[in-house]
Every structure is written in structure tokens, then in C-alpha cells.
A and B are shown apart, each in its own frame.
Chain A
């Protein structure tokens, strides 16, 4: 799992930068990638389960579906940003790395760390859209009220 997600973020979305790799190690070592990844899969699952099974309102429309889709993306976006931030910046383990003796290098690495959390969060917009859509396709088949949503795009 870890490897898959590490590969996705580091290689596919190329957030890696050889000179600063060490601060990403912590994401890898402490299963940070897994947590981000699970959030990425789990959040859409929860949201779409609510949409397709829990909400028993019989008059939902495409608009509602779109709102739900946007919400799902927003939540994964914010949450993954937050998780990466916690893992990479707001952690004692990385303090030595983020604040080295060389102040210039320190600034560069800190800005890289911020960029990393932002980049992962943004990549997750795309990823959660994809995972979300997969959940939609899977879950809606069993939905009684909203099997027909979204009406187009399929």
C-alpha cells in the first residue's frame, strides 16, 4: 500500500525532489502515504454511501449530485493537506531536518515541505474525483432512491 501511494504521489505527480527526499521519508516510514490514501478512498465511500443509501429523499437531482461531488473533493482536499502538514511540518521528528544549521537551506526545505503538502492536496482533487466516480459506479447499482443519478455522463 505504502509503496503504491508513494509511487503515485512521488512519481506520477512528481512531488519528489532528490535534494529534499529525506523529509518525505517520514511520510513513507510512518505510513503517512497510507493514511492519505485511505482518506482518499474512504471519504468518497462514506459520502457516496450516505448519498445513495442513507438519504431517502426521493426528489434528488443532478444538482444535488454535483454538490455532493464537490463536497467530497473539498473534504479530501482539506483533509489530505492537513494530514501531510501534520506528518511533514508539524512534527518533532522532522524538526532537525526543517531547521538545519544552514539557514538558507532551511528556508528552501521548509518551503519545499509546504509545497509538498499543497501538491499532495491538489493531486488528491484529481484522485478523489476518480475514486469518487468509481464508488458512484459501484454503489449506485444498489441504490433504491438514487440509482439514476447522475443522469448523464455515463
Chain B
């Protein structure tokens, strides 16, 4: 089996975007997929083109690529070691979209999309019938704008998403997917887009001769958040379409359907389920049916769900008949906040140290007492040292001009801000995920995990000074501007946090 396998991660709907975001942040921190999957190709399918969560995920994916392409030689287990590609690009970074474009959803209402107007009122005089359509779709459905998604209506989703199979992009995808590659799908069962998209996509994939034996997995989200209510006045005039209290009912129906179809027909190798009781007190998501305002705080379940992908890559292809059905669970029950200790050992092994290292990395670079203190003072941030003799590489490239330059600020810095926000949001959300001490103190910043010595940013600077001219950092391709930064911190931080 080749050791350069591709994994296509297809996120359908808002939940798909959010999980892909978690996945890419985990990959940035050094979490590594087993099974020889080195290239990850995320594909996002969502008619809600300007969805806040989707935009954020896209930005993170773009930044990931932009950073990774500028690091020379990353090894397994290091920050950014896995390659994220977009379907259309090969190896270059060209700011390409990760979205799967859907035709006719930008300006159309559902009514227009299906050509409702051209149908006949009277079935006796024609082969088609408006009334039959009215049986299936409410007035509101028909008038609904497609560009905000299906607002929780899978019955609309199935119709619109059916175009995927015929699209050029889908053919391209089938063409790209080689024998050893695998496909992983992500959706939620209680919305519109994701719920409709998964069965549809599975069917289209399975109908491709080339993909008959491809390893396929999926994770389906059961309800895990609640939606706030609209202002009562607005609500009276325009009743909300997405209601949390319909989530469970929709879930039941959909699961029964999945059982009858995709599981019964063995359309995939493994299917994962994840969900959590919701909490409407202080933890509702604001009411936005779609578009850029639908930007939800990160939730632990999205991280947990992306762990399914690690599990999926590791597990061998099933030869038995029935798909493997797995459900996510914690090892211990928790009270208030989830910490690493509550996770299963396997999950912990995948993320604990990596997240801790990347957290220290971002704290160091963002905190007042971290980088700001060292810049221009500590030896590792200075150049013009070679004037006293010795090899060239005594000079550091990580100077003020690097840290103030656009390459750094617009990619690395923005990325670590996203990482921080992600951790912060998961801590505030429900269920709260708070694996690290709350405040970051420059004096014991390295004590992110229990049992680590009380060491602060100073130890990082000291270690950086030792490493900056060492063979662990040099030689490297200096045209890749972030090489020095990542090589340096890879060694200095992991020395304290991960060993």
C-alpha cells in the first residue's frame, strides 16, 4: 500500500465546516493520521455560501496551506506535518477554494430552482401538477432563498444537492480518488443540507464503478446545540423555521432512514455517531437561519468528531459485511468541564501533547511577556552576529523584520489567533472543554499539562538561543520563510511539553 494516500474529507452543511475547522487545527498542532494518509483534501458542500462558519473554516484552511508551503521539511508529529490540499490544486498553494460550487443556488428561490411556475395547476390537462409539489413543500419552502441553505429542510436539500453527481467537480473528484485513497463524510442529521446530503452523496459515490472498493467512513452529528428564539414580535410576523425542539424528532426519523438505507445497503465501511444533550440556559446559539451571521462558537463535539477521522484512518478496511457503527463516548463522566483526563486513552494520545505544544506556541507568540520581550533582545532574534566570525548561520533570520513582515502577520499570527479563539470558545461553550489552566502566566506557561515543571517563557528563549545555530535547525531552505520559526519552536517547545 502506498504511503502517500489521500483522504477526502467531505463536509456537508454547517456542521461539516465546523468539524473540518477542528480537524485542521488539530493537524496544525501536529496530530498525525495513521495508515499512511499524508494528504488531506477537504471539500465543503454547502449552498449557504457565505455562512460564517464556512468562511472561517475556509480562511483557516487557506492559512494552513500558506504556512505549510513555507516550511521546509516537516516530519511526522510536527506542527503542520500533514498536507492539506484543495481538490483542484496539486502541490502549489494558489488560494484555491475548498468549496464545491452548486449551480443555481445564489439567486434562486426554491420555487424557481425546481421550475414551479411552469407547472400546471390542473393535472387533468397536463403531465405535471403544481398541487403535487404543494403536497411535498410548504409555501414557505417554495419561497425560500437557497443561498442561506435549507433552513433545516432536508426535503429541499435532496432536490438541490442532486446536481452534485452530474457536476464536473464530482467527475474530477472521482478521477482523483485512487485505489488506496479513502473518503470521509461529515454531516449533521438535524439540519437541512447535511441531513439530505449524506445519503445522496453516498449513493452517488457508490454508483461509481471506480469507487466500489474505496474505503468510506462518515460521522453524523445528532443534536448537540440549541438555537435561541427570535424576538417574540418578529416571531409572530414571521415564525422561525429552525427550532431546536424539532431537532430530536428529525433525528429519529433520519436515523431510521439511514438504518434502512446506507447501513442496510452497506454503503460505507464505518459510520460514527456523536451527540450530546443540549443546554438552553446561557448556551443557545443565536438565531440566524444562515449566511455570514450564522457563526457559532466552537464546540467540543466538533473536536471529538474530528477524532473519528483519526480512528477511521487507523482502522483497516472492513471485509465483513456490515458497516461498523461507532458512537463517541468519554472515558469518565465529567462534572462541569471536560479535561484530557476524561477522554479515552486513544484520543488522549492523539491530541493531548500536540494541543499543549501548540497552545504554548501560540501563547508565547501572542503574549506580552513572550515574543515581545525577546524580540531584539534575545540572541535568537538577532542577526549581524556573524561579523565576529564563524559560520553564516550564526545569524538568525527571525528578526523584527520577520515578525513585523506581512508573511508572518498575515499567516502565522492570524492562524494562531484562530487557534486561540477555538480553545476559548470551546471553554465557554456547552459542554465546556477546558483542558488547560485558565490564565496564562509567563512564569509557568510551560506547565500546561500536569506534572510538568514550573517553567515559563524564559525557558523557551533560553532554549531557542541554544538551538538557533544548531544542526537541528540548519541547514534549511531559507526561501521558505517560516522554516526557521517552526523548526526552532518545534524543538524548544516539545522539549519541555512533550518529552
Sorted nearest first, the 4 A-B pairs with minimum C-beta distance are A58-B461, A58-B378, A58-B462, A144-B466
How far, in angstroms, from A60 to B378 measured CA to CA in the complex?
7
In the complex the two chains form, is B462's CB within 8 Å of A147's CB? no
B-side residues, CB < 8 A to A, are: 373-374, 377-379, 382, 385, 387-390, 394, 458, 461-462, 464-466
What residues of chain A lie closer than 8 Å to B464, measured between beta carbons? 58
In the complex the two chains form, is A145's CB within 8 Å of B377's CB? no
Instruction: From known contacts A140-B388, A141-B388, A145-B379, infer whether A59 and B466 are also in contact, taking CB-CB under 8 Å.
Output: no
The minimal Cβ–Cβ distance linking B192 to chain A, given in whole angstroms, is 55
17 A-B residue pairs with Cβ-Cβ distance under 8 Å, sorted by A, are A57-B458, A57-B462, A58-B379, A58-B462, A59-B458, A61-B377, A141-B388, A144-B465, A145-B379, A145-B465, A145-B466, A146-B379, A147-B379, A147-B388, A148-B379, A148-B385, A154-B387
Mask: chain A, 123-154; 1 = CB below 8 Å from B; 0 = not: 00000000000000100110011111000001
How far, in angstroms, from A61 to B433 measured CA to CA in the complex?
42
The minimal Cβ–Cβ distance linking B101 to chain A, given in whole angstroms, is 51
What residues of chain A lie closer than 8 Å to B389, measured between beta carbons? 141
How far, in angstroms, from A73 to B385 measured CA to CA in the complex?
26
What residues of chain B lie closer than 8 Å to A140, measured between beta carbons? 388
What residues of chain B lie closer than 8 Å to A146, measured between beta carbons? 379
How far, in angstroms, from A154 to B387 measured CA to CA in the complex?
8
The interface residues of chain A, by DSSP majority, are classed as loop
Instruction: From known contacts A59-B373, A59-B378, infer whether A137 and B462 are also in contact, taking CB-CB under 8 Å.
Output: no
> Which of B374, B382, B390, B394 is in CB contact (< 8 Å) with A59?
B374
> Does A17 interact with chain B (Cβ within 8 Å)?
no
The minimal Cβ–Cβ distance linking A77 to chain B, given in whole angstroms, is 28
What residues of chain B lie closer than 8 Å to A59, measured between beta carbons? 373-374, 377-378, 458, 461
What residues of chain B lie closer than 8 Å to A148, measured between beta carbons? 379, 382, 385
* Chain A residues with a Cβ closer than 8 Å to the other chain, count: 15
What residues of chain A lie closer than 8 Å to B379, measured between beta carbons? 58, 144-148
How far, in angstroms, from A137 to B461 measured CA to CA in the complex?
23
How far, in angstroms, from A58 to B462 measured CA to CA in the complex?
5
> Which partner residue on chain B sits nearest A146 by CB separation?
B379
Q: 16 new A-B pairs (CB below 8 Å) besides A144-B379, A148-B385?
A: A56-B462, A58-B377, A58-B462, A58-B464, A58-B465, A59-B374, A59-B377, A60-B377, A137-B388, A144-B466, A145-B462, A145-B466, A146-B379, A147-B385, A147-B388, A154-B387
> Which partner residue on chain B sits nearest A140 by CB separation?
B388
The minimal Cβ–Cβ distance linking A94 to chain B, given in whole angstroms, is 46
In the complex the two chains form, is B466's CB within 8 Å of A147's CB? no
The minimal Cβ–Cβ distance linking A37 to chain B, given in whole angstroms, is 27
How far, in angstroms, from A141 to B464 measured CA to CA in the complex?
17
